[in-house]
Amino acid sequence: MTAADVYAILPLIVLGGASVVVLLGIAVHRSHSLTLILTLTGLVAAFLLLPLVSIEAPRQVTPLLVIDSYSIFFSGLIIAASFIITVLSYSYLSQQRGHREEFYLFLLLATLGSVVLVASTHFASFFLGLEVLSVSLYTLIAYSRKEYGIEAGVKYLILAGLSSAFLLFGMALVYSELGTMKLAQIPTSLSNPSSGVSQVFVLGGLALIVVGIGFKLALVPFHLWTPDVYQGAPAPVTAFVATISKGAMFALLLRYFTVVNIHNYPSLYLAFVVIAIASMFIGNLLGLLQTKLKRLLAYSSISHLGYLLVAFLASGPLAAVAVAFYLVTYFVTTLGAFGLITIMSNSDRDAEDPEDYRGLFWRKPWIAGSFTAMLLSLAGVPLTAGFVGKFYLVTAGIGSALWLLVIVLVVTSGIGLYYYLRVVVAMFASLPKGSTIAPAMRISPHFTGALAVTILVLLLFWLGIYPTPILRLIESMVTGFS
Amino acid sequence: MSALIFFFTFALIAVGAAVGMLFSRNAIYAALLLIVNFASVAFLYLSLGAPFIALAQVTVYAGAIMVLFLFVIMLLGAERLPPSQELPWQRPLGIVLAFLLLIEAVYGIVFRVNSAATLSLPVVEFATPAEIGSALFSTYLLPFEITSVLLLVAVVGAIVLTRAEGGARRRALVSQITQAVATEVPEHKAETPEEEKELV
Amino acid sequence: MVPLSYYLMLSAVMFFLGVLGVMLRRNAIIIFMSLELMFNAANLAFVAFALYYHSLSGQIFVFFVMTVAAAEVAVGLALIVAIFRTKHSINVDQLSSLKG
């Protein structure tokens, strides 16, 4: 490693350093607000370094990481989302008893793991980044150590462990045939006719890797953990699982399967088509049956990842732009929705029952209005970010003539609209006379959480009405990764 | 020929131990059988020219990880496993998976094209601890640093998840453990979560 | 000498025994041990092919996997202890309080 290599990975070093500073800070003086400030400083410093690093991009740092504009864009997205989640966590944890400070340490380290994932070009960095993310998430999910949280943590632990094992065995199969773990060498080893590569084993290995990735993305049929973990985890952690963990994994999926051209493997391609259609249908249909809001958002996220697969399968430069833009809108909307759940939750439980939201508009018009905006964006209604994102997905799909997938996308979006609107209608319904207000509704939101949500609402409309600047940015950064 | 005998001896021990673990009704036996499996795989690593990995296998897996398992099993008093009622779909699924395994094994041994490739130890020294070390601290320095981050997560995570505080039931458990550990009953009863932590 | 495919088959057999363990057993600790068996099986394939290709990367990767396994076990067993404290059971069938 040279000095230039170290310079290129400065954001990673800053994130790692910030976690050590936070740890030492907790040891010296246990203070919730001090820990928050240290964490936010670390995140901001890492974010501000990204433009400086991008001057040197693209740069291959050892065989393991590549710092190109693609990884820098997604690192920025991850760090920004982590900033919002940190602020929301402060609002959430202010009401909790017990030790709260270590929470931020895990947020920082999970962010670090995600940034490693989006820059990974080698199985080792893939696996290690994934595990740093996963092991941090086990702790974060069970952090409250209430019954629900621990149960969700154990479920996530067992299923994530299983998927890691599948991923690892898939990597072993690919390595056994190709003799390399470097992403860039996989296509060349594959096309080398003299090596006598058995396609069956490579295909089997890639399929097992897809199982591992599909679990993290909660695609059908690897989605079984999602509703339970979403419900059991603290709301900010659920936001992390829904956005950063999935976004980082999707960025990695796009990079790996663009290099290993997925169109060379018809059976794998078909498997992805089936997974996409199943995710869109299951996500939207089972979402109809949910009454608890966090479970509803779990099925919503399953269907959104299905939509993203449409652009992924379309491939080509437009697809990468569509995926990146959709991920931005998905991040903003999902963070907003979970942010609102966060600021309405109290120390006993997260606000997710239907009673918590009935007639919300008449008591907290701002919260109800913001929530309506987020749900409409998730449903993809015009003037919101979700609509523009979905428009680009459909454009990418049509561009590659994926008619079946596009039709399924449109039809299932229509089904999904119903359950989002059901929540919206409940919020505007009038309260029956003499009814008691659910305890979760009596709290007034912490100003940090409210500020974060306000920013997200503004972003939502900005992306929905005038997406051109962010699209220009994405077009200049995301296309053309090696 | 001797290499084949060596391979089959340890392969059979490894598979036998794994099967034993799978059907063991006693968690301690299961853990011990898994240690046997890890140890026999370590012998195979030695025959594959990987002395460093073989010793790491013994110290890290058999030595550290499995001791942790045994410790937790005994801590929870979960040695005897109640006969578990199986879910209806489990047995068919198990049979199907076992069948798939059989097919794959037959395919691999009989039909695999380049199965003729055999392994022999290279003449020159391969994968000595010195070589592993220099690769680990040059090409693989970055992932090595990431593993240190991972261990940090694990250390703090384990402490955060098991620290005792709050909750009536938990308090009862804590005082149980405290009494079991201390020979004399502690002079002052725990009043607050913080004090409990000190006692434990 | 030993054919390479024997190692791959041994690795596959151990991996599927691990899968069976996760599927069939209800005890969280045994399930967790089966996961370790699966990791171990993949490691064996990596080491065998590291020798075949005469490249160190397979062995180094196994070293990282061992570290990962240790980290997972530390946090995983902590979680299992925590669930035992709240539920007095480590049977995964009892993990059913989360539902819609």
Kindly list the structural domains of chain C, giving each domain's residue range(s) and its CATH number in brackets, ordered by start: 26-91 (1.10.287.3510)
Cβ–Cβ gap A124/B140 under 8 Å: yes
Which two structure tokens, joined as six digits, stand for A445? 């939101």
pLDDT at residue A249 tops 80: yes
What Å distances lie between residue A284 and A270, A390, B92, CA to CA?
Answer: 21, 15, 30
Q: What phi and psi, each to the nearest 5 degrees, are found at residue C30?
A: -65, -40
Supply the DSSP string of A196-243, one letter for each residue.
---HHHHHHHHHHHHHHHHHHHT-TTS-TTHHHHHHHS-HHHHHHIII
pLDDT at residue B124 tops 80: no
Decide which of A328 and C94 is more confident: A328
| pLDDT score of A86 | 96
| pLDDT score of C27 | 87
The predicted model gives C66-88 an average pLDDT of 92
Contact A335, A395 (CB under 8 A): no
Amino acid at B164: A
Query: Which DSSP symbol is given to B1?
Result: -
Q: Which residues from A are below 8 Å from C52, CB to CB?
A: 179
pLDDT in tens, A454-482: 999 999 999 999 999 999 999 888 876 54
Band (pLDDT 50/70/90 cuts) for residue B36 is very high
Q: How far apart are CA C66 and CA C71, in angstroms?
A: 9
Cβ–Cβ gap B34/C37 under 8 Å: yes
Q: Which of A358-362, A364-368, A442-446 has the lowest mean pLDDT?
A: A442-446
Which two structure tokens, joined as six digits, stand for A190? 């594959």
Decide which of B109 and A235 is more confident: A235
pLDDT at residue A345 tops 70: yes
> A131, A154, A224, A228: which to substitute to probe chain C, counting the most C Cβ within 10 Å?
A154
Which two structure tokens, joined as six digits, stand for A407? 């039709």
Closest CA to B66 of A374, A331, C74, A216: C74
Cβ–Cβ gap A131/B149 under 8 Å: no
Band (pLDDT 50/70/90 cuts) for residue B76 is confident
What is the CB-side half-sphere exposure of residue A371 using CA atoms within 13 A?
Answer: 31
Band (pLDDT 50/70/90 cuts) for residue B191 is very low
| pLDDT score of B102 | 67
Contact A481, A255 (CB under 8 A): yes
pLDDT at residue C100 tops 50: yes
pLDDT at residue A360 tops 80: yes
The predicted model gives A10-22 an average pLDDT of 95
| pLDDT score of C5 | 82
| pLDDT score of B198 | 40
Supply the DSSP string of chain C, one letter for each residue.
-EEHHHHHHHHHHHHHHHHHHHHH--BHHHHHHHHHHHHHHHHHHHHHHHHHHT-THHHHHHHHHHHHHHHHHHHHHHHHHHHHHHHS--BGGG------
| pLDDT score of B155 | 93
| b/e per residue A186-212 (b: at least 16 CB within 10 A) | beebbeeeeeebbeebbbbbbbbbbbb
Kindly list the structural domains of chain B, giving each domain's residue range(s) and its CATH number in brackets, ordered by start: 1-126 (1.20.120.1200)
pLDDT at residue B108 tops 80: no
Q: Please state whether the predicted TM-score (pTM) of the whole model is above 0.95.
A: no
Domain ranges of chain A: 3-478
Q: What phi and psi, each to the nearest 5 degrees, are found at residue B118?
A: -110, 165
Closest CA to A233 of A171, A353, A141, A161: A141
Q: Is C54 on the interface with A (CB under 8 A)?
A: no
| pLDDT score of A355 | 80
What is the CB-side half-sphere exposure of residue A119 using CA atoms within 13 A?
Answer: 34
The predicted model gives B69-75 an average pLDDT of 92
The predicted model gives A29-33 an average pLDDT of 91
Say which of C4, C66, C72 has its CB closest to residue B117: C4
pLDDT at residue B200 tops 50: no
Q: Is the peptide bond before A221 cis (omega within 30 degrees of 0)?
A: yes
Q: Is C86 on the interface with A (CB under 8 A)?
A: yes
The predicted model gives B146-171 an average pLDDT of 81
The predicted model gives B53-68 an average pLDDT of 91
Mean pLDDT of chain A: 89
Contact A162, C22 (CB under 8 A): yes
Closest CA to A90 of A79, A101, A80: A101
Q: How far apart are CA B118 and CA B3, in angstroms?
A: 11
What Å distances lie between residue A321 and A129, A325, A479, CA to CA?
Answer: 24, 6, 7
Cβ–Cβ gap B149/A62 under 8 Å: no
Band (pLDDT 50/70/90 cuts) for residue A412 is very high
Q: How far apart are CA B144 and CA B132, in angstroms?
A: 12
Q: Which of A330-334, B180-184, C46-50 has the lowest mean pLDDT?
A: B180-184
Q: What phi and psi, each to the nearest 5 degrees, are found at residue A61?
A: -100, 110
The predicted model gives B7-36 an average pLDDT of 93
Q: Which of residues 23-52 of C touch A (CB under 8 A)?
A: 28, 31-32, 35, 38-39, 41-42, 45-46, 48-49, 52
pLDDT at residue B73 tops 80: yes
The predicted model gives B158-176 an average pLDDT of 67
| pLDDT score of B109 | 59
* ipTM (interface pTM): 0.96
Decide which of A332 and B113 is more confident: A332
pLDDT at residue A113 tops 70: yes
| pLDDT score of B187 | 41
Decide which of C1 and A241 is more confident: A241
| pLDDT score of A445 | 63
Task: Give the count of beta carbons closer than 10 Å to the beta carbon of residue B83.
Answer: 6
pLDDT at residue A238 tops 80: yes
| pLDDT score of B192 | 43
A6 CA to chain B: closest CA distance, Å?
10
| pLDDT score of A462 | 93
Amino acid at A211: V
Say which of B86, B105, B119 has its CB closest to residue C12: B105
pLDDT at residue A62 tops 90: no
Report, in angstroms and rounded to the nearest whole number, the Rg of chain C calculated over CA atoms: 17
pLDDT in tens, A82-99: 999 999 999 899 888 788
Q: How far apart are CA A80 and CA A86, in angstroms?
A: 10
